[in-house]
A and B are shown apart, each in its own frame.
Chain A
Amino acid sequence: MIDLDVSLPLDHFRLEVALRTDAQSLAILGPSGAGKTSILEVIAGLRPSARGRLRIGEHVLMDSRSNLWVRPEHRRVGYVPQNAALFPHLTVEGNVRFGLARASGQGRCFDDAVNTLEIARLLHRYPATLSGGEKQRVALARALASSPRLLLLDEPLAALDVELKERIFPYLLRIKDDAHLRTIYVTHNTGEAIAFADEAVIVRAGRIDQTGPPAEILSPAVARLSDLGLVSDNIVSGRLRRDRSRAGMLFLDIEAGLSLIVPSVTSAKDGDKGVYALPEEDVLVSSAPLVAISARNVIEAQVAQIALVDSDAVVRFTSAGLQIRARLTGAALSELCLQIGDRAWLIIKSHSMRKLG
């Protein structure tokens, strides 16, 4: 159980956050500058000017009424900042061992952290020689090895491209599920929050705007994602295939009978994994089949959900196993007369497919 009720003056507003949760993993979302990182810093004990209460399980870490403020070195709260913040003068091993002095059963903690994050090969390297994903894994291992009661992750994946995200994310799930570690996870990305957290909190200008199960409060219909600076592009992944008979056009095979033409990249090889982002605004919708059109990709799909967001509508379509959201103006929606269950044709320009990995 995390019980937090704090206030802290920031540059443009006052952070006032009251939160009580039993969630094992909590996601904090919100626009940049909303105070998400400050919340983590207050919990870690890095903001001595914060006032209020903080309790993690039975441990009271802060209570201004009784002048109680536990120093960060005694809190056993692990912190992984956005830039990983590895100690540049220490090897990977030195970094991971840094917090060991405190941990009981030191050898086991070190081995567990190294194995969980699979960094045994990196132990003798210096941070400057590591890739972004490796740095993040080392930072996670370092926090894990200090056997924290609570782990704070500040956008651990923000600096990584999608392919790396896909590679790091399983480690995060492993920390959460296998290590049974309570985790607070700050992110911009609704998909990450839904996949990772039991509970989500949306923070705006220093205050909690909404709390609830991630899948509910983060659905495009409820959360005004664009207002919040949150990203919710369609993510389409599959295998790449080059069609030699048709001037070497590059196809993304999503599943049997469902392929999209994507911009040709010379480096792409048959069978490579391809991950693409497709903005909601770039999906055109027709209620009748098309005869001739320049766009290469036309998918027949079914309307699964319609949500009104401000003056727009976000319509979710399904086509076999693929889900695609399209953002339409209210006027367009009423002209199309779309109802849930209706058939529709989605038109996607190849060049709207942005390769992520």
Chain B
Amino acid sequence: MIDHEDFSILLFTLRIAALSTAVILPFGIFSAWALARSGGGARGLVETALSLPLVLPPTAVGLLLLELLSRYGFVGRLLQALGTEIVFTWKAVVLATAVMSFPLLVRPVRAAFEEVDPQLINVARTLGATPMAAFARVTIPLSWRGILTGTILAFSRSLGEFGATIMIAGNIPGKTQTMALAIFSRAELGDDRAAMRLVALTAVIAFAAIWTTEIFAQRRTRRIAH
């Protein structure tokens, strides 16, 4: 059965995924809003750049981050001046999962924002709402399914992040080791049973998360069909 170690790895992974999702949520919503409002060539460029983590090898993204954060990188020097260390700590795990899951959050949210009838925003403005108030009172409530879908997708992606994490956070048991990394370690050591326990755990969580989005997607289509 699940032992203490499995449980603490699971808890650590869930915490990392929740934190990383919480960190990217405001940025993701803002980026989606900016993308939904803008048009033209610049938008395509920004969208492509934001989607890069989806298609690049995660290890490549991890290496880029490592360069940026290392003692010789721009951000690394800044952090050193501030007395903070990121590389090979749990913060690096959060950063890696955040970067890798960001595009998965932005896409559905942007699509949901684009579905909101601009006429509703116009009317809200004439009724005294500032652009921010109209966004909060009209756009957000009408897009909550898209926001939820994006959040769950990003969260699920965070649970399974491997490549970028191992590059900048390493695979340190009890410190930076998430489920994905632990499965790799245990399989490499030949302890397949222990690895399979973690596989089963992740499978259950991922299944539950994706199934939730499916349920909401179905409700939505049913509502449209009516």
Point out the residues of chain A lying under 8 angstroms from B117, CB to CB: 85
Within 8 A of B (CB), among A159-182: none
- Provide the B133-151 mask, 1 if CB < 8 A to any CB of A, else 0: 1000110011000000000
Contact A81 B130 (CB under 8 A): no
Chain B's nearest CB lies how many Å from the CB of A339? 52
Contact B125 A88 (CB under 8 A): no
Point out the residues of chain A lying under 8 angstroms from B124, CB to CB: 87, 98
Contact A101 B128 (CB under 8 A): yes
Point out the residues of chain B lying under 8 angstroms from A83, CB to CB: 119
Contact A85 B120 (CB under 8 A): yes
Contact B142 A88 (CB under 8 A): yes
Instruction: Please classify the interface of chain B as helix (H, G, I), strand (E, B), loop, or mixed, using the class held by over half of its residues.
Output: helix
B129 within 8 A of A: yes
Chain A's nearest CB lies how many Å from the CB of B120? 5
Chain B's nearest CB lies how many Å from the CB of A126? 11
**CB nearest to B126 among chain A residues:** A79
Contact A79 B141 (CB under 8 A): no
Known contacts A85-B117, A98-B137; A73 and B122 CB within 8 A of each other: no
Point out the residues of chain A lying under 8 angstroms from B120, CB to CB: 85, 87
Contact B130 A44 (CB under 8 A): no
Q: Which of B123, B126, B130, B133 has the most A CB atoms < 10 Å from its CB?
A: B126
Q: How many positions in chain A have a CB within 8 Å of any CB in the partner chain?
A: 27
Contact B138 A81 (CB under 8 A): no
Contact A142 B127 (CB under 8 A): yes
Q: How many positions in chain B have a CB within 8 Å of any CB in the partner chain?
A: 18
Contact B142 A146 (CB under 8 A): no
Point out the residues of chain B lying under 8 angstroms from A79, CB to CB: 122-123, 126
Within 8 A of B (CB), among A16-61: 41, 44-46
Chain A's nearest CB lies how many Å from the CB of B65? 39
Known contacts A87-B138, A88-B142; A81 and B119 CB within 8 A of each other: yes
Contact A146 B127 (CB under 8 A): yes
Contact B126 A77 (CB under 8 A): yes
Contact A46 B125 (CB under 8 A): yes
Chain B's nearest CB lies how many Å from the CB of A32? 17
Point out the residues of chain B lying under 8 angstroms from A128, CB to CB: 226
Contact A46 B127 (CB under 8 A): no
**CB nearest to B226 among chain A residues:** A128
Point out the residues of chain A lying under 8 angstroms from B125, CB to CB: 44-46, 71-73
Contact B127 A99 (CB under 8 A): yes
Point out the residues of chain A lying under 8 angstroms from B123, CB to CB: 79, 81, 85, 142
| Set A44, A75, A146: member contacting B122, Cβ < 8 A | A44
Chain A's nearest CB lies how many Å from the CB of B78? 38
Chain B's nearest CB lies how many Å from the CB of A151? 10
Contact B119 A146 (CB under 8 A): no
Chain B's nearest CB lies how many Å from the CB of A201? 21
Point out the residues of chain A lying under 8 angstroms from B142, CB to CB: 87-89
| A146 vs B126: C-alpha distance when bound (angstroms) | 9
- Provide the A58-80 mask, 1 if CB < 8 A to any CB of B, else 0: 00000000000001111101110
| A87 vs B129: C-alpha distance when bound (angstroms) | 13
Contact A73 B119 (CB under 8 A): no
**CB nearest to B140 among chain A residues:** A89
- Provide the B71-104 mask, 1 if CB < 8 A to any CB of A, else 0: 0000000000000000000000000000000000
Point out the residues of chain A lying under 8 angstroms from B133, CB to CB: 73
Point out the residues of chain B lying under 8 angstroms from A14, CB to CB: none
Contact A73 B141 (CB under 8 A): no
Point out the residues of chain A lying under 8 angstroms from B141, CB to CB: 89
A102 within 8 A of B: yes
Contact B128 A102 (CB under 8 A): yes
Q: Which of A45, A88, A143 has the most B CB atoms < 10 Å from its CB?
A: A88
| A98 vs B124: C-alpha distance when bound (angstroms) | 8
Point out the residues of chain B lying under 8 angstroms from A146, CB to CB: 126-128
| A45 vs B123: C-alpha distance when bound (angstroms) | 11
Contact A46 B138 (CB under 8 A): no
Point out the residues of chain B lying under 8 angstroms from A75, CB to CB: 126
| A34 vs B138: C-alpha distance when bound (angstroms) | 30
- Provide the A81-117 mask, 1 if CB < 8 A to any CB of B, else 0: 1010101110000000011011000000000000000
**A residues apposed to B, CB below 8 Å:** 41, 44-46, 71-75, 77-79, 81, 83, 85, 87-89, 98-99, 101-102, 128, 142-143, 146, 148
Instruction: Report, nearest first, the 5 A-B pairs whose CB atoms are least far apart.
Output: A99-B127, A102-B128, A72-B125, A79-B126, A85-B119
* Sample of 21 A–B contacts (CB below 8 Å): A44-B125, A45-B125, A46-B125, A72-B126, A73-B129, A73-B130, A75-B126, A78-B127, A81-B123, A85-B117, A87-B120, A87-B142, A88-B142, A89-B142, A98-B124, A98-B127, A99-B128, A101-B128, A102-B128, A142-B127, A143-B127
